[in-house]
Structure 1
Amino acid sequence: MTAAADVPAIVFVHGTRFSAGQWSSQLAALREEFPVAAVDLPGHGSRSDQPWSLKAATEVIGAAVESLGRGPALVVGHSLGGYASLEFARYRPEQLRGLVLAGASASTRGGWALPYRCVAGLVPRVPAQRLTRWNDRFLRRLYPPEVVEATIRSGYAFHTLPAAWGEVLGRFDASAMRHVAAPVLILNGEKDPVFRAGERDFARAHPNARIELIPRARHLANFDAPEAFTDAVRRFARQLPDRS
């Protein structure tokens, strides 16, 4: 277990169309033990007017790590945020103490990417207000207010989705794990067959990676099972090697 004086800072990176509000349950549960922060990626949340790029995303994550003042951090990325975190791990290894990939262990290359290219192309054709109503209803129907209201209040970055996934698609597969110097937890919902499709390949490509599944959870595992998701992150953070 990591000594209390050397607990890692934790930076959370949200998924497609969401914002830092996605992590409200995790921040509340972990902040007494760890320095924590959640970012808004470019084009999302408070940065909705900023253009998307993976390079800019790594800069946002890096700034959050620096702001916590604890040296290298544990970065937890979900879906789009997981792939952005892989990019961060490659280009900012000195800032990374550990990596949690949640719903981001599928190759974005080859035939798998085709349906997502189609979705990215269709989203701009649907009025944003209609997409917002659909998302609000979806989240409120499935989850309690304390889990999703921060996400709903922050709004959705539909306008950024084509650019974000346009850059991610075709870019990542298990070979990306070779550029990650820190320990990795691949944390997936048990019932997320698409985004956990390559989890074994991703784990095999790294010398210090393990897979953990959250029972009965789907792609939005931190919404489906917030306590189990938080507990997995907590255990992984406590087990990270001391910085020395």
Structure 2
Amino acid sequence: MTAADAPPIVFVHGTRLSAGQWSPQLAALQADFHVAAIDLPGHGARSAQPWSLNAATEVIASAVDSLGHGPALVVGHSLGGYASLEFARRCPKQLRGLVLAGASASTCGPWATPYRWAVGLVPRIPADRLTRWNDRLLRRLYAPEVVDATIRTGYAFHTLPAAWGEVLGRFDANAMRHVAAPVLILNGEKDTVFRSGETDFLRAHPQARVELIPRARHLANFDDPDAFTDAIRRFALHLPAHKLSAPEQGAPGRPEAQGGREHSD
């Protein structure tokens, strides 16, 4: 695949985080790919917007369109992975490939119990206390260049009940049957909860494969940014070439970087 054939890449962050989660990946990939990292509704720069999967799908679709280079590789982590599955179902023509990171666990039936517990607990804890806990944890575990953008852009604890309330009961391996593009299931080796349905998700899609980041946990792109980015790069470069239609051949060029908490390069 030549550089001209390389797919644009849209990154979709996980629970309570923002586009800042992807700063290591954006920095590493922007020289070779058209890349964007979005804020989901209720998160980051969209903190005041109400959450819904419909709105999340629209945000992802808008980001794909804004890059102006045809269907994109969409990389979704955790909550963002389930939102990306919904995008894949609703907008198949905008999808060239899908990466599910920490999002290959069923949210249905008994598997949803831990999520329901968290959804009920978070609103009972003051947001400033949750912020201090999260900041302290991230600073203890990771280098500043990996997590500074995440800490700076803050957390969306207020959106967590609505977001997971809609996701719970909605996604299992059957969701993979609606994805009309190759899929990489990219998990941290030690992320036992969110890779619990890994085998079922893999079997449900004829063009899916699994790759594990050794010794990594749920935030695999923080635990080993280089290995995570390398997996994205390799998957992107091996996606089938996209044949441009006549309207796409006249599509606008690469946009300038966006400010605020949503990043595009």
Distance in 2 separating the partners of 1:140 and 1:112 = 30
1:185 equivalent in structure 2: 184
Which letter does structure 2 place at the counterpart of 1:183? P
Is the partner of 1:153 in helix, strand or coil?
helix
Aligned to 2:34: 35
Percent same amino acid among aligned pairs?
80
2:147 alignment counterpart: 148
Note the C-alpha offset of 1:210.
0.2
Correspondence for 2:250: none
Contact 1:3 1:242 in 2 (8 A): no
Q: CA deviation at 1:118?
A: 1.5
Alignment of 1:59-98 (within 5 A): 59-98=58-97
| Distance in 2 (alpha carbons) for counterparts of 1:52 and 1:194 | 24
SS in 2 for 1:76: strand
Matches within 5 A, 1:95-134: 95-134=94-133
SS of the equivalent of 1:161 reads helix
Equivalents in 2 of 1:4, 1:157: separation in Å? 36
How far, CA to CA, are the matches of 1:213 and 1:17 in structure 2? 24
Structure 1 counterpart of 2:228, which letter? F
Amino acid at match of 2:41: P
Residue equivalent to 1:200: 199
Aligned to 2:2: 3
Corresponding position: 1:214 with 2:188: no
What do residues 177-209 of structure 1 show as CA deviations (whole Å, max 9, x unaligned)? 000000000000000011001111101100100
Residue matched to 1:243: 242
CA RMSD of aligned residues (A): 0.5
Query: Does the aligned pair in 2 maintain the 1:177–1:202 contact within 8 Å?
Result: yes
Preserved CA contact (<8 Å) 1:20 1:45: yes
SS at match of 2:200: helix
Measured against aligned partners, the alpha-carbon deviations of 1:9-44 in whole angstroms (never above 9, x if no partner) come to 000000000000000000000000000000000000
- The aligned amino acid for 2:118 is V
Corresponding residue number in structure 2 for 1:163: 162
Report SS of the residue matched to 1:12.
Answer: strand
**Do the aligned residues in 2 keep the contact of 1:37 with 1:64 (CA within 8 Å)?**
yes
The answer for the alignment partner of 1:226 in structure 2 is 225
Q: Which shifted more, 228-237 or 116-125? A: 116-125
Task: State the alpha-carbon separation in 1 of the partners of residues 224 and 3 from structure 2.
Answer: 27
* Gapped regions of structure 2 (runs ≥ 5): 244-265
Partners in 2 of 1:130 and 1:175 — Cα distance? 38
Q: Runs in 1 of length 4+ with deviation above 2 angstroms? A: none
**Number of aligned positions between the proteins:** 243
Kindly provide the amino acid, as one letter, of the partner of residue 231 in structure 1.
D
TM-score, length-normalised on structure 1?
0.99
Question: Structure 1, unaligned stretches of length 5 or more?
Answer: none
Is it true that 1:138 corresponds to 2:137 in the alignment? yes
Q: Is the 8 A contact 1:89 1:180 kept in 2?
A: yes
